[in-house]
């Protein structure tokens, strides 16, 4: 795939620089050759529960990123196009997910309700409730409850991939272009398990803040009220905690 893509790109660049009438034809050939790369990156994203978030939408966004990379690619610099385009494709996927809410307000409310219900049941039973028990108390199916759990885990796990500013913002999960394909559900389960272990090693206060923000959907202001601190202080604690977790998570990904 990589060699055929590189060949198609280099033929396109020749036509582009010569401003021939065949440039559009070669651009289409590049798009066809690049589709497996774009698709593999898009398919490694855990889709948020949103009507606009489909893999076809992600692939279209990723293809636009690829075309942007194609317009500025210079093969004389020696960088393979797949490596050069990876950042643009990833950025396009991130930008697309930023245009839609990772979780709608109603979905965040339902996630928070499920979390509180599980906590109440845990206190009543004196042990961790089964999914069927929580689902029954909520009046939903076990499958629907498991999806709510997945939403809560996703909202937190995706934030670990945002290495930008200090504001904890959910982003996409995109594997390295050199990574071997893996079963998405097994990979997600492994990620969630490791993330849970990381959180479990945090100090009690940081654990509580992470849980309130990502799993119960509270705002910084609401969390600040519970801890009798300022919003700015809660934001600092949350950002510092996420930076620590990101470092540990990245170390784990590289080692894996």
Exposed, middle or buried by CB within 10 Å (0-12, 13-18, 19+), for 78?
exposed
Residues 21 and 125 in one domain: no
CATH number of the domain encompassing residue 184 = 1.20.140
Which pLDDT does position 170 carry in this prediction? Answer: 30
More confident: 156 or 224: 224
Q: What is the pLDDT of residue 173?
A: 31
Q: Are residues 71 and 29 in the same domain?
A: yes
Per-residue pLDDT tens for 208-241?
888 887 777 677 778 888 898 877 678 778 877 8
Q: What is the DSSP string of 222-247?
A: HHHHHHT--HHHHHHHHHHHHHHHHH
Within this chain, do residues 73 and 112 fall inside the same structural domain, yes or no? no
Mean pLDDT to the nearest integer, 134-148: 87
Q: How far apart are CA 219 and CA 148, in angstroms?
A: 19
**pLDDT tens digits for range 115-136:** 788 888 888 888 878 888 989 9
Model confidence at 77: pLDDT above 50: yes
| Same-domain check for residues 120 and 243 | yes
103 compared with 55, residue with greater pLDDT: 55
DSSP annotation of 129: P
Question: End of a domain among 75, 98, 121?
Answer: 98
d(Cα 218, Cα 72) in Å, to the nearest integer?
43
pLDDT at 81: 92
Residue 172 to residue 157: CA distance in whole angstroms = 9
**Does position 179 have pLDDT exceeding 70, yes or no?**
no
Same domain, 121 and 235: yes
Res 99: pLDDT: 64
Domain boundary, last residue among 45, 80, 98 = 98
pTM attached to this predicted model: 0.44
Are 155 and 241 members of one domain?
yes
Distance CA 31, CA 24 (A): 11
112 against 152, higher pLDDT = 112
Domain containing residue 220:
105-255
- Please give the structure tokens belonging to residue 20: 């021939």
Question: Do residues 159 and 165 touch, judged by C-beta distance below 8 A?
Answer: no
d(CA 6, CA 242): 38
Highest mean pLDDT among 48-57, 60-69, 185-194: 60-69
Does residue 34 share a domain with residue 112? no
| pLDDT value at 80 more than 60 | yes
CATH number for the domain including 42? Answer: 1.20.120.1810
How far is the CA of 123 from the CAs of 111, 113, 129, 146, 211, in angstroms? Answer: 19, 16, 9, 20, 17
List CB contacts of 30: < 8 A, sequence separation 6 or more: 5, 8, 9, 12, 66, 70
* Under 8 Å between Cβ of 207 and 199: yes
How many domains does one find in the chain? 2
Query: Do both 109 and 84 map to the same domain?
Result: no
Residue that terminates a domain, selected from 98, 113, 145: 98
Instruction: Determine phi and psi for 118, rounding to 5 degrees.
Output: -65, -35
Query: 83 and 126: one domain?
Result: no
Overall size of the chain counted in residues: 256
Q: In 3D, which of 39, 48, 158 has the Cα closest to residue 100?
A: 48
Same domain assignment for residues 110 and 81? no
Residues 93 and 196 in one domain: no
| 117 shares its domain with 175 | yes
């Amino acid at each position: 795939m990589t060699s055929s893509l590189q060949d198609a790109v280099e033929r396109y660049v020749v036509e582009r620089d010569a401003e021939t009438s065949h440039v559009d034809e070669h651009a289409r050939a590049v798009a066809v050759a690049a589709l497996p790369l774009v698709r593999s990156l898009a398919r490694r994203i855990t889709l948020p529960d949103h009507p606009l978030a489909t893999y076809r939408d992600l692939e279209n966004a990723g293809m636009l990123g690829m075309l942007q990379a194609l317009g500025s690619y210079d093969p004389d610099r020696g960088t393979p196009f797949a490596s050069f385009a990876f950042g643009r494709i990833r950025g396009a996927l991130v930008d697309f997910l930023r245009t839609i809410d990772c979780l709608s307000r109603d979905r965040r409310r339902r996630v928070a309700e499920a979390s509180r219900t599980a906590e109440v049941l845990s206190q009543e039973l004196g042990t961790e409730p089964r999914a069927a028990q929580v689902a029954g108390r909520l009046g939903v199916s076990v499958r629907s409850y498991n999806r709510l759990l997945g939403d809560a885990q996703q909202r937190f796990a995706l934030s670990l991939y945002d290495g930008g500013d200090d504001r904890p913002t959910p982003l996409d999960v995109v594997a390295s272009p050199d990574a071997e394909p893996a079963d998405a559900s097994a990979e997600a389960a492994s990620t969630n398990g490791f993330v849970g272990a990381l959180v479990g090693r945090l100090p009690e206060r940081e654990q509580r803040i992470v849980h309130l923000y990502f799993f119960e959907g509270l705002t910084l202001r609401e969390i600040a009220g519970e801890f009798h601190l300022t919003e700015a202080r809660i934001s600092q604690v949350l950002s510092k905690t996420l930076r620590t977790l990101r470092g540990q998570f990245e170390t784990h990904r590289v080692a894996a």
